[in-house]
Amino acid sequence: MDLGKYGVPFFVVVAVVALLVASPCLSRVLVWPRTEFFSELWILGTGHMAEDYPFNVSSGQSYSVYLGLGNQLGYCAYYRIEVKFRNESQSMPSSFGAVEDRVPSDLPSLFNVSAFVADQNSWELPVTFGFDYGFNETLVQVGFNSMTFNDNVLGMSGESTGWNATTSRFYGDLIFELWLYNGSAGNFGYHGRFVDLKLNMTV
């Protein structure tokens, strides 16, 4: 074998094979810089999939979903999720545009859920909810008495939703807003993310 003729290709092949063999070890040593830092918030249906969400709900019945949260911020974060309920005429939170321009709904929170989530980890909460409401024929609206959230009964007296002739439903929107604790300010601020369940309150 003439090494002068095949020497360079031979050493290139040996070097490539050596790198391939060593790559699992190198991946533990080399740390690539992270360029994106964000949080994730999601709802999954009863089968732990992005489907089969409750839509047509009835008074006195219970419904289940999974609420999930992921931390990609680069540090252990302290989160709060505010649970709100709105009808079509009430304010919706925003999640588009610059983070500082995003605003939460101005509705009061019915219930708060808090969680510490380590960096590059996720957290999940099984959620069971239901409503107690009645139909007012005179006003053609649904009037709420209370909401049950994971066995906690939350007052909703005075809340109502009217008939939408276009969609033929009594519309309700169960909102989960994500808030993040700011250690410097010593308080929670809206983190610019929310998920929601669109519901039809059947009568």
> Is 28 in the same domain as 103?
no
Number of domains in the chain: 2
pLDDT tens digit string along 70-92? 999 999 999 999 999 999 999 99
**73, 117 Cβ separation under 8 angstroms:** no
What confidence tier does 109 reach under pLDDT thresholds 50, 70, 90? very high
pLDDT tens digit string along 110-148? 999 999 999 999 999 999 999 999 999 999 999 999 999
**83, 108 Cβ separation under 8 angstroms:** no
Look up the CATH number of the domain holding residue 116: 2.60.40.10
Residues sharing a CB contact under 8 Å with residue 147, sequence separation 6 or more, in sequence order: 85, 110, 129, 130, 131, 132, 153, 154, 156
Residues sharing a CB contact under 8 Å with residue 178, sequence separation 6 or more, in sequence order: 39, 41, 69, 79, 80, 81, 190, 191, 192, 193, 194
First to last CA, the chain: 89
Output phi, psi for 101, to 5 deg: -95, -10
pLDDT of amino acid 8:
62
What confidence tier does 36 reach under pLDDT thresholds 50, 70, 90? confident
Strand pairing partners for 187? 182
> Is 123 in the same domain as 70?
yes
> Is 4 in the same domain as 54?
no
Supply the mean pLDDT for the chain.
Answer: 89
> Is 122 in the same domain as 26?
no
pLDDT of amino acid 191:
96
Q: Which domain holds residue 150?
A: 38-201
> Is 168 in the same domain as 150?
yes
Lookup result for tokens 């490539």: 16
> Is 165 in the same domain as 84?
yes
Q: Which of 34, 127, 113, 30 is nearest to 72 (CA)?
A: 34
Q: What percent of the chain has pLDDT over 90?
A: 77
pLDDT of amino acid 15:
60
> Is 13 in the same domain as 66?
no
pLDDT, average across residues 182-192: 95
Q: Does pTM top 0.85 for this prediction?
A: no
pLDDT at 1 over 90: no
Q: Hey, CA dihedral for 22, 27, 31, 34, is it positive or negative?
A: positive
pLDDT of amino acid 25:
58
> Is 26 in the same domain as 73?
no
What confidence tier does 37 reach under pLDDT thresholds 50, 70, 90? confident
> Is 90 in the same domain as 122?
yes
> Is 77 in the same domain as 52?
yes
pLDDT, average across residues 41-47: 95
pLDDT at 10 over 70: no
Residues sharing a CB contact under 8 Å with residue 202, sequence separation 6 or more, in sequence order: 56, 57, 58, 170
> Is 24 in the same domain as 84?
no
> Is 9 in the same domain as 43?
no
Please tell me the distance from the alpha carbon of residue 96 to that of residue 174, in angstroms, as a whole number: 19
Q: Hey, CA dihedral for 136, 139, 140, 141, is it positive or negative?
A: negative
Strand pairing partners for 64? 128
pLDDT at 63 over 80: yes
The distance from CA 158 to its chain's CA centroid, rounded to whole angstroms, is 28
